[in-house]
Amino acid sequence: MAFWKSLRRSSSLEPASNSCFPLLQLPVELVTLIASFLTLDEKASLALTCHALLSILGKTVFSDLSSYPPTFKKATAESYLLRGLERDRNDPSLYVCYRCRKFHHIQDANPQLSRMTLKFNDPSATDVGFPICGSAYMEAIRGIQNMLSVSRKEIEPKSWTGSIVTPVHMGYHIESGISSQDLFSHRRFVLQPQNARYDTYWMIPHQYLLSANLEICPHVYFGWDSVTREGTICDALDEFYAQQHEDHQLALSTGQTCQPEPFTGYVCEKCMLEVDIRFRTFEVWITVWQWVGALKSEEKEKWGTKLKKRMGREACFQEKIKKTGLQPGDLKCMWENIRNKDKGSGFVDL
């Protein structure tokens, strides 16, 4: 927060003489875009800097902070903000306590909570006897400081990518299922336009998907964040829907409608997942099937692999596709088998 105050006090607008130009003199849209890279606790720290930033970010960030992230210890979530303020205060004699959510002096630390005293080397303890907050406040603030310290003439287009207000409303649900040897997950994302002018999204379907800025995995994502977009699903979407867009333009001139064909069979072998995209009336369904991992085999750990072969134990999914690799339809077929056998675990609607 001291960094933001230093920006507010600064009055120079010349990047050559002072590259750290004042934050409050930036456009509101740019400040909002920068804040979109922050977590809730970091946004709250920024909002506490001054009334101007509070009016831009809104007071709802504090109500959201009290309920995020979901945890059994609510005090943990609220401690994120305290940890950021503590580090910004730069007082090594103070520490944040999880339970009471207040600042404490290091000299008041409880030795019974130290890492050397607790059994099993509890990761929630520290050497000084206070719980760890785990906030990434300092790391995030350095990244934003580096972005703001660059001269306007030196800023590359990739430094300011993103969408301030997305035209897409997204809802999703997650479902997990267990086979004889593996754990699978099934995710479905439902995208709907928030503005009436986006109801004709099927005219340019791949651009509509990009506006969702949805990340499936580090290798499969819909968004403008990538510079070259090589090897991502975006290139496949551009190629797949290019001809369909031309066909729809011809149909539009005659008053006809043209709904995009489903995009299926896109796999990511590194993350072991498969993506399916289907267009419906005024919404898009993105379905993801993923192999989470093999279940723990007690027989293998206790008796070795020979007993596993002797008992005829079924191989895990990764061993089955070792020769052929992950093919389109493999994960979808496995999930359908799990659902048909009614072995799916709990359903989580988020």
Percent of the chain with pLDDT strictly greater than 70: 38
* Neighbouring C-beta atoms of residue 117, cutoff 10 Å: 12
C-alpha 136/C-alpha 44 separation (Å) is 13
Confidence label for 33 from pLDDT (cuts 50, 70 and 90): confident
CA atoms within 13 Å, Cβ hemisphere of 146: 7
Write down the domain spans for the chain: 2-160, 168-349
C-alpha 3/C-alpha 195 separation (Å) is 37
Is residue 243's pLDDT more than 50?
A: yes
Mean pLDDT in residue range 53-81 = 60
Is residue 119's pLDDT more than 50?
A: no
| Secondary structure of residue 287 in the 3-state scheme | strand
* CA-angle at 152, arms to 151 and 155, nearest 5°: 85
Q: Per residue, what are the HEC states of 41-89?
A: HHHHHHHCCCHHHHHHHCCHHHHHHCCCCCCCCHHHHHHHHHHHHHHHH
With beta carbons less than 8 A apart as the criterion, state whether 307 and 157 touch.
no
Percent of the chain with pLDDT strictly greater than 90: 1
C-alpha 229/C-alpha 207 separation (Å) is 14
Confidence label for 216 from pLDDT (cuts 50, 70 and 90): confident
Mean pLDDT in residue range 177-204 = 67
- Pure H helices in 59-180: 60-65, 74-89, 137-148
